[in-house]
Amino acid sequence: MTLPHINVATLQVAGVVSFYMSAALVMVFVNKAVLSNSPDLPLLFLLVQLIIAVVLLHISAGIFKRVEIPRFNWVVAKKLVPVVLVNIIGLVFNTLCLRGVEASYFQIARGLQLPLTILVSAIHTQSVPSAKTIAATVLVSIGFFVGVAPSSSLPLTATPTLITLFYGILSSLFIALHAVLIKSSLPHCENSTIQLAWWTNVGSAVFLIPFVIFNGELQLLRDKMVEGSWNGTVFAWGCLVTGLFGFMLCVAGLLSIKVTSPVTHMFSSAARSVLQTLLGVMIFSDILTVNRVSSILVILGGTMYYTWVKSSEFKPPPSNLGHDLESNPRFATLDKADNESKAVQG
């Protein structure tokens, strides 16, 4: 009996995406627990995560020879300012959005990730998406608007505010921009996802420190510790756990984009929504309504339809693919112009 041929590249992509999805799920729920415990320290919480990720990168470099920490270079730093700024802005809006919504509602609040990523990619490559791709984005967008529609069956405490939904839209936009900018930033880091992760975390921490100080969060932390009524255990352990998984997620996210594409990266984010919803109900007793369930199903249906559209548009791979999987059209899920122009390849 002949065993079916296993494509190593396919397994690599599947492994990276699965790793990314698992780390992302842990991050969402631990982040939500900490933000519920300390809602007035969001930026400080994010800063500690970034610092822990940088420390872990240096520890990994001391243990594994393949993990190389780049030397500081002003020329490289200036070239990476756009990707670093977009990254930290997206993280801040992401944190503020998660603070104000239920864990199971989080993917609805950021339901425009896929449509915005396709839009940003199309503008970046100066190409027009196919009619089927546009139909998929419209379907996902409808799912988002169904989920954010007001519902009289929800208690006031479970209803997200307009500013929180606005944070979710901005988070989706900046994550879409970041996913595309990574492709053009990798060459400045010797095409190394680890080096880019170091630059991104260090740069994001540097940009975030002044805002933590100006927002008065260091003073708030001091006051909480002096008063003695605040239980800082959740905050401390949450920082450690999310710092660890944030490090894993950063590397996993960068690898996901490098071996696939920005849009496939966003699809893997959307695909975990069912698990996230179930866990949200089980852990935080989140409230599910017909609108919310319908929204999640429509968003998933749109992303699945998009995947089917892209699978039907695959081209036979060229004879010389090079070392980067993105150069293989089988794993390039942007429009055909993305494969031809290589404008966003790492």
Quickly list DSSP for 39-87. TT-HHHHHHHHHHHHHHHHHHHHHH-TT--PPPP-HHHHHHTHHHHHHH
Q: What is the pLDDT of residues 229-258, one digit of tens each?
A: 787 888 999 899 888 887 777 666 556 656
pLDDT at residue 93, as a whole number: 94
Q: How far is it, in rounded angstroms, from Cα 177 to Cα 161?
A: 25
Q: Between the CA atoms of 173, 176, 180 and 185, what dihedral angle is there, to the nearest 10 degrees?
A: 70
Q: What is the pLDDT of residues 124-148, one digit of tens each?
A: 888 888 898 899 899 999 999 998 8
Q: Is the pLDDT of residue 337 over 60?
A: no
Q: What is the pLDDT of residues 20-57, one digit of tens each?
A: 777 777 888 888 889 988 899 999 999 998 999 899 98
Q: What single letter denotes the amino acid at residue 239?
A: C
pLDDT at residue 263, as a whole number: 58
Of the candidates 291, 268, 302, the one whose C-alpha atom is nearest the C-alpha of residue 19 is: 268
pLDDT at residue 226, as a whole number: 85
CB 262 within 8 A of CB 344: yes
Burial group, residue 320, by CB count within 10 angstroms (0-12, 13-18, 19+)? exposed
Q: How far is it, in rounded angstroms, from Cα 94 to Cα 194?
A: 23
Which has more confidence, 343 or 150? 150
Q: Is the pLDDT of residue 342 over 50?
A: no
pLDDT at residue 320, as a whole number: 43
Q: Is 160 helix (H, G, I), strand (E, B) or coil?
A: coil
Which has more confidence, 241 or 335? 241
Q: What single letter denotes the amino acid at residue 165?
A: L
Q: How does residue 311 score in pLDDT terms, banded at 50, 70 and 90?
A: low
Q: Is the pLDDT of residue 314 over 70?
A: no
**Tokens representing 108?**
């609805």
Handedness of CA 173, 177, 180, 183 (dihedral sign): negative
On average, the pLDDT of the chain sits at 78
pLDDT at residue 152, as a whole number: 73
Taking residue 59's Cβ as centre, other Cβ atoms within 10 Å add up to: 12
Q: How far is it, in rounded angstroms, from Cα 212 to Cα 40?
A: 11
pLDDT at residue 323, as a whole number: 41
Q: How far is it, in rounded angstroms, from Cα 329 to Cα 315?
A: 6
Q: How does residue 10 score in pLDDT terms, banded at 50, 70 and 90?
A: low
DSSP 8-state assignment for residue 330: G
Q: How far is it, in rounded angstroms, from Cα 148 to Cα 278?
A: 19
Phi, psi of 229 (to 5 degrees): -85, -15
pLDDT at residue 265, as a whole number: 55
Of the candidates 65, 15, 58, the one whose C-alpha atom is nearest the C-alpha of residue 247 is: 58
Handedness of CA 121, 166, 22, 250 (dihedral sign): positive
Q: What is the pLDDT of residues 55-90, one digit of tens each?
A: 998 998 888 887 788 888 999 999 999 999 999 999
Q: How does residue 274 score in pLDDT terms, banded at 50, 70 and 90?
A: low
Residue with tokens 């998984």: 245
Q: How far is it, in rounded angstroms, from Cα 1 to Cα 3?
A: 6
Q: What percent of the chain has pLDDT over 70?
A: 77
